[in-house]
């Protein structure tokens, strides 16, 4: 593995063949895998229910960000995938995602796709975040030049 990359795995979420997030050295950038609507046993929840799946996706995304030392308020951008050709399904997923972020209206891309990775999966959200993990005096560019 490349030095400076921390892969984040969560024992409380479903066992998947990838890390839930990665954090870069020196520890500020957090890149998540797509959060899926899986319960702790790896089963897709709320089959056929876009909003129900979006709620589980956001709970899993929050758990992933927390484990990586970040929060929804640290998110720079998201991509929301919905397996549908119906714009109303996009709206249902977006309403849940948007509500989870509250006042933190980070840029996002909402995309309708043909199929997602798990049978019955309708929603997936990936995020790019920055965590504040610098020790004082702060990032190198905060140090006065001689």
Query: What are the CA-CA distances from residue 122 to residues 23, 62, 134 (Å)?
Result: 27, 19, 37
pLDDT in tens, 42-84: 999 999 999 999 999 999 999 999 998 899 998 888 999 999 9
The pLDDT value recorded for residue 36 is: 97
Q: Give the DSSP letter of residue 38.
A: B
Burial class (CB in 10 A: 0-12, 13-18, 19+), 125: buried
What would the two tokens of residue 90 be? Answer: 């996009």
Whole-angstrom Cα distance, residue 74 to residue 130? 6
At 135, the pLDDT band (50, 70, 90 cuts) reads very low
At 105, the pLDDT band (50, 70, 90 cuts) reads confident
């Amino acid at each position: 593995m490349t030095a400076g990359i921390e892969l984040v795995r969560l024992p409380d979420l479903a066992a998947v063949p990838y890390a839930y997030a990665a954090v870069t050295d020196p520890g500020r950038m957090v890149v998540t895998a797509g959060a899926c609507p899986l319960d702790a046993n790896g089963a897709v929840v709320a089959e056929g229910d876009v909003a129900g799946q979006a709620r589980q996706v956001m709970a899993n995304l929050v758990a992933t960000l927390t484990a990586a030392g970040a929060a929804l308020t640290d998110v720079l951008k998201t991509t929301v995938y919905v397996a549908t050709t119906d714009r109303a399904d996009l709206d249902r997923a977006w309403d849940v995602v948007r509500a989870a972020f509250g006042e933190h209206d980070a840029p996002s891309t909402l995309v309708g796709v043909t199929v997602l990775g798990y049978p019955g999966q309708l929603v997936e959200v990936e995020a790019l975040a920055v965590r504040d993990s610098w020790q004082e005096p702060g990032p190198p560019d905060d140090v006065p030049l001689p």
